[in-house]
Amino acid sequence: MQGPVYSHTERDNGAITAVIEFLTAFVLFLMILTAFLSLAQLEMGSNDPSLDRLDSAAVLGMDRISSDEGWFVPLTNEQLDYDNATANWHLFPAQQLEEGRVQAGLLVDGELNDSKINALHNISEDGFALGIGLPEGYSFHLNIMVTDSTEAQRVGAVLFDGGTDKSGTRASSTSYRNFYQNDETIQIILEVHDGGRKNNQLQITEVHPRPSQSGAEWIEIYNPNDFAISLYGWSLEHTSGSSTSNLLLKEGIITGHATAIFTGDPSSQDAGNASEVIDLGVEGFLGVGSIDNLANGNGKLTLKYTQVFESQPAVIQRINWGGDTGLFLVNGQSIVWDGTSMFDSTSWSISNNPTPGN
């Protein structure tokens, strides 16, 4: 009996089908294996779990700030008060936001909200990172700007720009999102970094060592950053002759692009437009009336900051008056910084009209 006869075409089609089935199965196997290794935090070839985690943190962080209104859980009696949690986090001052827990959602009715963007100045960098769920050891940078508008002068306008620069970090991942509203395109860029060193800065802008009559000594400090800065880790040092006094600040916060007044007596202090008034009279660092803690003659005031996990503070700014500086005060005068050198006495001048908080 003669068996079946196959044509060349039938044999070729069968071979091609077999090859296709094999390649399909092999690709499916690789996809399953790659997914498994990623979930298990293992590495195969170009798959790097640390980069996967970084990408995931950037995407998740962007989703949390650009998908809804966010929320705030206040601190009541040293406990997070979940019963009074609210989406109106932007209505709370910096100190309350720092004490509680906030996730800074920026949307209202599906659109970016100007009030919520402006309220980012009331959140510290650490508080923002905690709210969007960044793992420990990660840092970030947030930029919000107008990339297109029917009003030419609005193009390129920066609505917010703050956080840690990615230079010196081990790796970085970036997430973007565009919003089209009110004839404008607004872009949010969230960079998440593995590592990074915060370079936040505070600036002493005016010092009042010789108040008139029963007035208080005070120090004006400005925060030039977009995010609020927690005072934890900052310190002040005052030297008069051979006497030196140091004060480590353990609490408090200064709103972004705002001024705080440190005073010997908050009850009598003229605060001007200062966002915060902080009592250093109770700490014995600043005086009021006959209590004279800052030197009237030769004095030196130093602002320092200690990074987390570092033992030695870095000197951020130093002010000298009296001696050979040419800065000699009488009662009621203050010394004012001109915004240039953080250490040179020539950057300071005498003012007959002190302007605390302005």
The domain tally of the chain equals 3
Q: Look at residues 194, 221, 251 and tell me which one is the last residue of a structural domain.
A: 194
What does the block give as tokens for 163?
């956080």
Q: In this model, does residue 197 exceed pLDDT 80?
A: no
Q: In this model, does residue 321 exceed pLDDT 60?
A: yes
| 136 in the same domain as 246 | no
| 71 in the same domain as 152 | yes
pLDDT band at 5 (very low <50, low <70, confident <90, very high): very low
The neighbouring-strand residues paired with 261 are: 220, 277
- How far is 174 from 144, CA to CA, in rounded Å? 13
Q: Please list, residue by residue across 34-69, b when 16 or more beta carbons sit within 10 angstroms of its beta carbon and e when fewer do.
A: eeebbeeeeeeeeeeeeebbbbebbeebbebbbeeb
| 213 in the same domain as 128 | no
| 176 in the same domain as 135 | yes
| 209 in the same domain as 111 | no
For 250-279, the pLDDT digits (tens) are 889 999 999 999 999 999 999 999 999 999
3: CB partners within 8 A, 6+ apart: none
Phi, psi of 59 (to 5 degrees): -70, -45
End-to-end Cα spacing for the chain: 109
Residue 303: predicted pLDDT: 97
- Does a structural domain hold residue 41? yes
pLDDT, the chain, mean: 89
Look at 297 and 11; give whichever has higher pLDDT: 297
* Boundaries of domain holding 23: 11-47
Provide, rounded to the nearest whole percent, the portion of the chain with pLDDT above 90: 72
Averaged pLDDT for residues 166-183: 90
In this structure, of 20-34, 64-78, 116-130, 279-293, the range with the lowest mean pLDDT score is: 20-34
Q: In this model, does residue 334 exceed pLDDT 70?
A: yes
CATH for 246: 2.60.40.1260
Q: What number of residues does the chain have?
A: 358
| 314 in the same domain as 228 | yes
Residue 1: predicted pLDDT: 46
Q: In this model, does residue 98 exceed pLDDT 90?
A: yes
- How far is 204 from 1, CA to CA, in rounded Å? 106
| 236 in the same domain as 293 | yes
What does the block give as tokens for 177?
């999102």
pTM listed for this prediction: 0.82
Is the separation of the CB atoms in 170 and 298 below 8 Å?
Answer: no
For 70-81, the pLDDT digits (tens) are 999 999 988 999
Q: In this model, does residue 8 exceed pLDDT 70?
A: no
Residue 320: predicted pLDDT: 95
306: CB partners within 8 A, 6+ apart: 233, 234, 235, 312, 313, 314
- Reference 38, options 46, 29, 47, 28; nearest CA is 47
Q: Please tell me whether residue 57 adopts helix, strand or coil conformation.
A: helix
Q: In this model, does residue 323 exceed pLDDT 70?
A: yes
What does the block give as tokens for 247?
């004060």
Strand locations in 280-333 (E): 299-305, 314-321
The 3 state secondary structure assigned to 276-310 is: EEEECCCCCCCCECCCCCCCCCCEEEEEEECCCCC
- Does a structural domain hold residue 87? yes
Max distance between CA atoms of the chain, in angstroms, equals 127
- Does a structural domain hold residue 39? yes
Averaged pLDDT for residues 125-136: 94
Q: In this model, does residue 13 exceed pLDDT 90?
A: no
